[in-house]
Amino acid sequence: MQNFVLKGHICYNQTPTELAVQEDGYLICENGRSSGVFPVLPERYQNLPLVDCGDRLILPGMTDLHVHASQYAFRALGMDMELLDWLNTNAFPEEAKFQDPEYARKAYGIFTENLKKSTTTRACIFATVHGEATEILMDQMEASGLITYVGKVNMDRNAPDYLREESAEASAQATVKWLERTIGKYEHTRPILTPRFIPSCTDELMEALAGIQKQYHLPLQSHLSENQGEIAWVRELCPDADSYGEAYDRRELLGTGGPTIMAHCVWSDEKERALLKKRNVFAVHCPQSNMNIASGIAPVRAFLKEGVPTGLGSDVAGGSSESLLRAMTDAIQASKLRWRLVDESQKPLILEEALYLATKGGGSFFGKVGSFEPGYELDAVVLDDMRLAHPQTLTVKQRLERLVYLGDDRDIWKKYVAGREIR
């Protein structure tokens, strides 16, 4: 059913700082897209099926712009390390297990089930270096009905023998093989090029991937300027570049070959941010990961002010929860600490901005996604705050704020992706 009406308390962003609220409103879905929000049901829609959400809140579906499906098993484990030690101790040994398709089916099955139950409707996902396991994840994501980009990871240096791809050529070949199998195979699932980060990709591999990107017209995702030790390492590995961002740019991996996502950008200075903006690269703020592996706090206020496209990421398992509600709360809280302790000129995020980042901000990577303005693909979550009893009558905005801080998967009543109900 892709033509219907949702009736309830409708909340969404048109701009980062304003929340549009329509109490007891009507949200019209035609052919999977919004035809707008109305206070009274217009005559012309009166014969569409109506889903009465009662006293519940209707929000745009959320986009997780950065998540490692292959790290889901060790979320909330081994968090007392910084990035490079954490990768060696936790991430690499776990990711190696996905050599075995049976393990991949089981582990990705758990991830997929839980993502399906969350407020996330779209995601950009890292798998592992293994083509076969990545395809298994793509099959599962497709069956879930969520809309996702999934990437087979590339790494041909600075990884343990058991995980490192044999050579740049072998990595590029495996990527092409995976692409040939998966491009066009799915309705809701697309491949995305995924060089892990500069320390794990030789110049030769990055050059090959830039070529593949152009040949197949692919988007690309990676990590940028997350951790001080990592940044110092990239400076050594790429003496030709003034910054980490410029190092990607010189290798034609920073938005010149297709739509691009860079996770973290915690230490991106004004110059690096200007480059992201110029190349229309999405910066992903992953606040829980910033705290867990003590990377720092990304300058989200600066991203927003300066017009860098920005979304939120769980970065599981750097982040321990896949919940975008949690990511919104963490983004607000981290921005307050940054304001107090790092830069008093950069005001903290407000609720509206956090919702914007989780919906329209990150959703824009997928096109017209993350709002209910006419023409937007209709991704929606219907939230029920019955569980969060309160002795007073609250406004819809107050109820939204409590759901963001206190809500979880239990409070989701219905979920739609591009007008399709996810069950």
User: Interface with ligand GUN includes 223 (CB under 6 A)?
Assistant: yes
User: Interface with ligand GUN includes 206 (CB under 6 A)?
Assistant: no
Give the residue among 263, 264, 339, 270 at the shortest CA–CA distance from 295.
264
Give the residue among 387, 394, 392 at the shortest CA–CA distance from 409.
387
Which residues within the stretch 223-282 sit at the binding site for Fe ion (CB under 5 A)? 263
Strand partners for 260: 220
Q: What is the 3-state secondary structure (H, E, C) of 296-351?
A: CCCCHHHHHHHCCCEEECCCECCECCCCHHHHHHHHHHHHHHHHHHCCCCCCCCCH
Instruction: Report DSSP state, residue 164.
Output: S
Residue 319: CB minimum distance to Fe ion, A: 9
Q: How far is CA 160 from CA 26, 93, 163, 203, 390, in A?
A: 55, 9, 6, 19, 53
Question: Which residue's CB is nearer to ligand GUN, number 22 or number 158?
Answer: 158
Among ligand GUN, Fe ion, none, what does residue 404 contact (CB within 5–8 Å per kind)?
none
Number of amino acids touching Fe ion (CB under 5 A): 2
Number of amino acids touching ligand GUN (CB under 6 A): 11
User: Interface with Fe ion includes 384 (CB under 5 A)?
Assistant: no
Question: Which residue's CB is nearer to ligand GUN, number 130 or number 415?
Answer: 130
Residue 34: CB minimum distance to ligand GUN, A: 34
- Which residues neighbour 257 within 8 Å (Cβ) at sequence distance 6 or greater? 210, 213, 214, 218, 220
Among ligand GUN, Fe ion, none, what does residue 196 contact (CB within 5–8 Å per kind)?
ligand GUN
Question: Which residue's CB is nearer to ligand GUN, number 55 or number 85?
Answer: 85
Rounded to an integer, what distance in angstroms lies between the CA atom of residue 139 and that of residue 137? 5
- Out of 60, 259, 309, 318, the residue judged to bind ligand GUN by CB under 6 A: 318
Rounded to an integer, what distance in angstroms lies between the CA atom of residue 313 and that of residue 288? 9
- Which residues neighbour 392 within 8 Å (Cβ) at sequence distance 6 or greater? none
Helix intervals (H) in 129-238: 131-144, 168-182, 203-216, 228-237
Q: What are phi and psi of 343, to 5 degrees?
A: -155, 100
Question: Which residue's CB is nearer to ligand GUN, number 56 or number 223?
Answer: 223
- Out of 315, 322, 353, 379, the residue judged to bind Fe ion by CB under 5 A: 315
- Out of 94, 156, 165, 315, the residue judged to bind ligand GUN by CB under 6 A: 315
Question: Which residue's CB is nearer to ligand GUN, number 182 or number 289?
Answer: 289
Residue 91: CB minimum distance to ligand GUN, A: 5
Q: What is the helix (H) or strand (E) element at residue 395, kind and residue range?
A: none
Which residues within the stretch 144-203 sit at the binding site for ligand GUN (CB under 6 A)? 196-197
Question: Which residue's CB is nearer to Fe ion, number 37 or number 125?
Answer: 125
Which residues within the stretch 81-140 sit at the binding site for ligand GUN (CB under 6 A)? 83, 87, 91
Among Fe ion, ligand GUN, none, what does residue 327 contact (CB within 5–8 Å per kind)?
none
Instruction: Give the residues lining the site for ligand GUN (CB under 6 A).
Output: 68, 83, 87, 91, 196-197, 223, 226, 289, 315, 318
